[in-house]
Chains A and B, each alone.
Chain A
Amino acid sequence: MRKNFARLASLALALIFVLAACGGQPTAAPATEAPVVTEAPAATEAPVATEAPVQEPFVFGLLLVGPYNDNGWSQAHYEAGLYLEEKLGAKMVYLDKVNPADRPGTTPDQLAEELVAQGAKLVIFNSDDMKDASTTFAKANPDVFVIMASGDQVWSDGKAFEEIPNLTNIMGRMEYGKMMAGCAAALTSETGKIGYLGPLINDETRRLAASAYLGAKHCWENAGNDPAALQFKVTWIGFWFHIPGFTTDPVDVSKDFYTTGYDVVISGIDNPVNLGEAQKLTAEGTTSFGVAYDYVAACDAAPEVCIGVPYFNWGPEYLKAVSSAIEGTWESQFIWVGPDWTDLNNPDTSSIGFVNGPALSAEAAAAVDAFVAELAGGLNLWTGPINLQDGSVYLADGEVATDQQVWYLPQLLEGMEGLSAAE
């Protein structure tokens, strides 16, 4: 009996061995076949350029990491998609909740192909979480244009540079928006304790949390407060939004902040759930304020506690990139673009913006506006002396950070509480 089983088991193992061994010689992976072309070749190959674009609208695809109506990051992208439809007469096909928890068993590159099957000639990957997949997809589909928002794959001065002719990176210089958010928070806080609801830890989130801190510090000290009395704490939840069972609940994190004296919480995650908690606690008698993030109308969720929102306006840059794909002038680029300083909230020209929230006092609002004017005038808070969290020198006195230093900020800054990297 036992012998039988052993014989069976060994038979099975042998079978698997044979199967796997046959699989030993890896056949040429399709990815390697992506043409090693030199300069902007995708445009010439694209059928779009030659076909008359009069009848058929240009179809573009959009992959959203969260729900299209998340009142944050993904909604800002969705609205940009509507903007493209309006401006170009293009047609959007989109899929939201593209993350392994919501769409188990799928990968973003697979889902991008579903959009291509619906006619998309350009696909926008909207999340850092899809960076690897966007590279895979772009290489496997050299005739489809790819925009990867927030990534740095094609930044020739970046750390992860790869030549991918059909891929463009686009990101707004949200550092400015976060500085304004930090400023508004510092001018609103009674306790001098500001909480930052952080998503996961990476280059982007470190530099944005640090920007909020720099803005808070600047305005706190300008208002004549004791520099030592400012506390700025970052708590990370582990992903861009709450995934039950996998991340810390951002509502709990907000509550912990508010109930321990942090009267202002700045959202760094993909949606403003801190506002809901602030609203609830304020109603119960604990004065709480929040700064939203990502989406221009995010304050609407709880206007009475919202003191402002720094937001992305993806429309203008997407319009340029998609137009270039249609016209055949596409070039693989790394675009990291700041606001239109002459008109911060212009939907057609400014890639990031900041809206004062209804809960921001008139006095604080005036001070925030003055700060915005200073930034527009050339004030750069990424100027030394600035130390990293471990006390080492990041920028010497008077030294101005380069783009690389800001993008790849290795740690949080001295004066900030919270983890700089995973423990």
Chain B
Amino acid sequence: MLKGRFGGFFFQLIALLLAFGVVSLILISVDASPADAYKNMFTGSFGSLRKFAEVLVAFVPLLLVTAGLLVTFSSGLWNIGVEGQVVLGAITTTWVFRYFLESDLPPALIIILAILGGMVGGAIWASFTGLLKVFGGVNEIFGGLGLNFVSTALTIYLIFGPWKRPGVASMSGTVPFPDEFSLPLLADLRISPWALGIALAGIVLVYFILQGTYFGLRLKAVGKNFRAAYLLGIPTWQYSMYSFLICGALAGAAGAVQVAAVYHRLIPSISSGYGYLGLMVAMLINYQAIWAVPVALFFAALNIGSIQLPILMKLDSSLSGVLQGILVLFVLLAEGVRQRFAKKA
């Protein structure tokens, strides 16, 4: 057991080194110094409190999405639709804010309602994928992907249509909400401690569900062997739906935070790709909740740190995306190799 775990760690370390090696080769091929690039990315993300706060801004939605995906992965579902669930969370949050724009309710209450609204919106959107899967026999990958496109189209329709700025038809987004609709931010920083709290609560909740409850155990049973779980008397399709709803709610919370604490309005790319990035994080951590926080933080740091590359080295900041992708590939590959070794031994 110990040996196996150690072996896994060893293979993942190799994968990490390989990924950095390949990216270094790419950098060398364009005459850039890998050492400088990594150094700039590091100081760009952890070099100051301000920068670390920006990393946390990206970390919050990423962690929420990852937490949600741990649930769907545990029940054996590939919830690609998580991206759209983030978007719908943002849309519903925007809708709630707009609904209460003129109201006399305390802003705190409106913010709570808006975030809860976002969670409900995300959950409902996820339930569509779930219903298509359970009752329509549509694989959740295709259903989810389709709904992602629909969610983008819906955002664009709202921004250019019913929610447009007066006299304007632009991708720039809806009219920004008043300051009191913002989740309170730390002085001089852009991070909201409440957003951070929501994200940490989300991952703790998921960890608790998966590790400490009978519900989580059954969820995993459904994921490991759907048919066997069914024969053992677990209401399998209900469990699939539960996991979609939980994931949707967490993704919706990510979208809600994007509106309430980051952009303060609806913009076309409101999800910032965190849904897809969350999928990578979940795969990288091999669906173990305990690793979600450090790895999501690492990915968020890569995203923020890479902004330094175009400013300081005239390199494209998509390099961070390349590194993230390669890393996931190598880790999966290493896992495959390890299993092969394990079998032989």
Residues of A within 8 A of B (CB): 1, 4-5, 8, 12-13, 15-17, 19-32, 93-97, 100-101, 103-107, 110-111, 113-115, 117-118, 128-129, 132, 200-203, 236, 238-239, 243, 245-247, 410, 419, 421-423
* Nearest B residue (CB) for A31: B179
Chain A residues with CB below 8 A from B274, complex form: 104-105
Q: How far is the CA of A414 from the CA of B179 in the complex (A)?
A: 40
For window 137-195 of B, CB contacts with A under 8 Å fall at 152, 156, 160-161, 164, 167-172, 176, 179-180, 182-185, 187-188, 190, 192-194
A104 and B273 contacting across the interface, CB-CB below 8 Å: yes
A-B pair count, CB < 8 Å, reads 163
Residues of chain A within 8 A of B180, CB atoms compared: 26
Instruction: Please judge, given known A-B contacts A16-B115, A239-B170, whether A23 and B308 are in contact too, CB under 8 Å.
Output: no
Does B111 reach chain A (CB closer than 8 Å)?
yes
A421-B169 CB under 8 A given contacts A95-B307, A105-B303: yes
6 contacts between A and B (CB under 8 A): A1-B214, A4-B213, A95-B310, A100-B263, A105-B303, A423-B161
A-B pairs, 7 with minimum CB distance: A24-B108, A422-B169, A200-B170, A104-B272, A201-B169, A23-B194, A105-B272
A423 CB contacts on chain B under 8 angstroms: 160-161
Q: Which of B58, B242, B268 is within 8 Å of A105, CB to CB?
A: B58
User: What residue in chain A is nearest B193 (Cβ atoms)?
Assistant: A23
A13 contacts across to B, CB distance below 8 A: 116
CB pair B268 A30 closer than 8 Å: no
- Which residue of the partner chain, among B179, B198, B205, B311, contacts A95 with CB atoms under 8 Å? B311
Question: Which size bracket describes the interface of B in this complex?
Answer: 35 or more
B218 at the interface (CB under 8 A from A): yes
1/0 per position for B238-267, CB-CB distance to A under 8 A? 000010000000000000000000110001
Please determine whether B167 and A16 come into contact, CB atoms closer than 8 angstroms. no
* B213 touching A100, Cβ below 8 Å: no
A245 touches B112 (CB 8 A): no
Most chain B C-beta atoms within 10 Å of own C-beta, residue among A1, A238, A243, A422: A422
Write the chain B residue with the least CB distance to A61. B311
If the complex has contacts A1-B218, A114-B307, A422-B169, are A23 and B108 also in contact, measured as CB distance less than 8 A?
Answer: yes
Inter-chain contact A243/B194, CB cutoff 8 Å:
no
- Known interface pairs A23-B108, A30-B187, A105-B58. Does A15 touch B169 (Cβ–Cβ under 8 Å)? no
Give A408's nearest chain B residue, CB to CB.
Answer: B167
A113 to B308, CA, bound (A): 12
How far, in whole Å, are A128 and B172 apart by their CA atoms in the complex? 9
Q: In the bound complex, do residue A24 and residue B106 qualify as a contact, i.e. CB atoms below 8 Å apart?
A: yes
Annotate B205-223 by CB proximity to A: 1 below 8 A, 0 otherwise: 1001100011100100000
Check A238–B161 contact: CB distance below 8 A. Answer: no
B197 at interface (Cβ–Cβ under 8 A)? yes
A246-B115 contact given A5-B215, A19-B197, A26-B180, CB 8 Å threshold:
no
CB–CB A419/B169 < 8 A: yes
Given A8-B213, A27-B187, A29-B182, CB of A200 within 8 Å of CB of B172: yes
Does B269 make an interface contact (CB < 8 A)? yes
In the complex, A423 Cα to B164 Cα: how many Å?
10
A20 with B111: CB separation less than 8 A: yes
Interface check B338, CB cutoff 8 A: no
Which B residues are CB-close (under 8 A) to A243?
171, 268
Taking CB atoms, residues of chain A closer than 8 Å to B190 are: 107, 110
Most chain-A CB neighbours within 10 Å: which of B192, B218, B268, B274?
Answer: B268
Check A245 against B198 for contact (C-beta < 8 Å): no
> B201 an interface residue at 8 Å Cβ cutoff?
yes
Instruction: Give Cα A16–Cα B114 distance, bound, in whole angstroms.
Output: 12
Closest CB in chain B relative to A410 CB, distance in Å: 7
Contact of B307 among A106, A202, A419 (CB under 8 A): A106
B317 within 8 A of A: yes
Chain A residues in 8 Å Cβ range of B182 = 26, 29
A20:B194 contact, CB within 8 angstroms: yes
* Least CB distance, A70 to chain B, in whole angstroms: 15
Q: How far is the CB of B77 from chain A (nearest CB, A)?
A: 17
B241 to chain A minimum Cβ distance, whole angstroms, is 12
- Given A110-B54, A410-B167, A19 and B194 contact (CB-CB distance below 8 Å): yes
Q: A95-B311, A202-B167 are in contact. Are A23 and B214 (CB under 8 A)?
A: no
The chain A residue sitting closest to B53, CB to CB, is A110
A201 to B166 Cα, complex, angstroms? 10
Q: In whole Å, how far is A57's beta carbon from the nearest beta carbon of chain B? A: 17
Known: A1-B215, A8-B215. A21 touches B242 (CB 8 A): no
| Contact between A245 and B108, CB atoms less than 8 A apart | no
The reply to whether A26 and B107 form a contact with Cβ atoms under 8 Å apart is: yes
Q: Is the CB of A200 within 8 A of B263?
A: no
Assess whether B57 is interfacial by the CB under 8 Å rule.
yes
